[in-house]
Amino acid sequence: MSNIVAIVGRPNVGKSTFFNRLIQRREAIVDAVSGVTRDRHYGKSDWNGKEFSLIDTGGYVLGSDDVFEAEIDKQVELAIDEADAIIFMVDVENGVTGMDEDVAKLLRKVSKPVFLVVNKVDNAKRSKDAVEFYSLGLGDYYTVASINGSGTGELLDALVEALPEKEEVVEEELPRFAVVGRPNAGKSSFINALIGEDRYIVTDIAGTTRDSIDTKYNRFGFEFNLVDTAGIRRKAKVKEDLEFYSVMRSVRAIEHSDVCLLVLDATRGFDGQVQNIFWLAERNRKGMVVLVNKWDLVEKDHKSMKEYEKAIRKQMEPFTDVPVVFISVLTKQRIFKAIETAVEVYKNRSKKIKTSKLNEILLPIIENYPPPAYKAKYVKIKYIMQLPTPQPQFAFFCNLPQYVKDGYKRFLENKLREHFDFKGVPISVYMRKK
């Protein structure tokens, strides 16, 4: 379970540039994930071997200047509530502004580590100018230049030092199903419908994360923990529709789960906020089931379901191999089908395929459709194996891994899906030097 670090501050101080720099540093270490990453405001980073999730609040502030202040206050309050550490970014070019003072006022009351970071400091004169930020009453500051990365090392050393140690909670290893989605999609009702009807309930465990409630649940002879993000206490000041709020809450639940049940409101569709949560789960390589709730409210004919599902899949591209279940929590329609599907996805995610079987099925296909030649060089794939990781990752050993393009990796992924059922599970395909 990684720590969450939020970057806050008024608009245009360089939060996103700084965020991108930290995320790229991470992707230089780990294989970059192919496919389009849709959500630019959440990522994982690590420094000195310590991993943390990073949230750039800048991407969630919408509206004109006068709306900005209220929105920023809301976000800072949320970050204070949810994050384990906070980076407060200011800009040496503009000096201390009224909005900076407002944010500082909120942050001075916080018991969590707060790092005041003065951006755009790229010469000695600006270094001197940064002194005025002492007036914010947050103690020492760090000077950085996001654009070229100077100063970030020192800041990151201090940051990972201050992050609380997450104790690894070792309990019986039950699969964890997280119910996620935007506010008012019917997450709580879904869980209540499951539990209310069911006598098999064993125990209620107050979540190991202080904000999600785990319910041990037994159905179809299969026991699992249901992680509810919906029943989380909500700060009165946080408006329901605040996108940042949904994402912030989902981050914890998703990172802490094996399979995510993404509940969406049929009358609203697969909108931006739902997509954010979908790509968040995909990026964390979690199993996925999409539940279309309130299906009873939609005007339909014999084609409605097919067309609705097609529209959703279009927006999931390229990760379309995901089960979509139409439910109505109100009438309890298909709610157990939803759980059954999640159990299947969980089994798919932990599936291990014998090396001999992989090679026997895929090598002939690769021989018939080899990777396209690049600069008159031919790529020969000799051998395939599944890596010993919690989720499906495959290594294809070949002579020239650097010449295999994303399009061909997707072709290989599709063949894996065709021959071995990986429905609902993101697959990683790596090319390795033989």
Annotated binding residue 13: yes
* Residue 32 to residues 26, 36, 44, Cα–Cα distance (Å): 9, 11, 12
Annotated binding residue 285: no
Residue 238 bridge partners (DSSP)? none
Contact 427, 417 (CB under 8 A): yes
Annotated binding residue 98: no
Annotated binding residue 15: yes
Annotated binding residue 279: no
Annotated binding residue 60: yes
Contact 252, 209 (CB under 8 A): yes
Residue type, 282: E
Annotated binding residue 58: yes
Annotated binding residue 185: yes
Annotated binding residue 371: no
Annotated binding residue 364: no
**Selection from 169, 19, 26, 12 nearest residue 92 by Cα:** 12
Annotated binding residue 10: yes
Give the tokens for residue 352.
């291990």
Give the tokens for residue 321.
């191999």
* Residue 336 CA from chain centroid, whole number: 26
* Residue 409 to residues 23, 231, 318, 423, Cα–Cα distance (Å): 23, 40, 12, 18
Give the tokens for residue 192.
């209540």
Annotated binding residue 119: yes
Annotated binding residue 421: no
Annotated binding residue 231: yes
Strand order through the sheet with 50-56? 42-47, 50-56, 3-8, 85-91, 114-119, 141-143
Annotated binding residue 229: yes
Cα torsion through 371, 373, 377, 381, rounded to 10: 10
Annotated binding residue 188: yes
Annotated binding residue 301: no
Annotated binding residue 311: no
Q: Is 328 helix (H, G, I), strand (E, B) or coil?
A: strand
**Selection from 142, 30, 29 nearest residue 90 by Cα:** 142
Q: Is 195 helix (H, G, I), strand (E, B) or coil?
A: helix
Annotated binding residue 399: no
Annotated binding residue 45: no
Interatomic CA distance for residues 84 and 6, integer angstroms: 8
Annotated binding residue 241: no
Annotated binding residue 129: no
Annotated binding residue 153: no
Annotated binding residue 192: no
First to last CA, the chain: 34
Annotated binding residue 74: no
DSSP string, 1-42: --EEEEEE-STTSSHHHHHHHHHHHHHHHSPPPPS----TTE
Contact 262, 236 (CB under 8 A): no
Annotated binding residue 375: no
Annotated binding residue 294: yes
Annotated binding residue 268: no
Annotated binding residue 384: no
Annotated binding residue 300: no
Contact 389, 429 (CB under 8 A): no
Which residue positions form the known binding site for GTP? 9-16, 56-60, 119-122, 181-188, 228-232, 293-296
Which residue positions form the known binding site? 9-16, 56-60, 119-122, 181-188, 228-232, 293-296
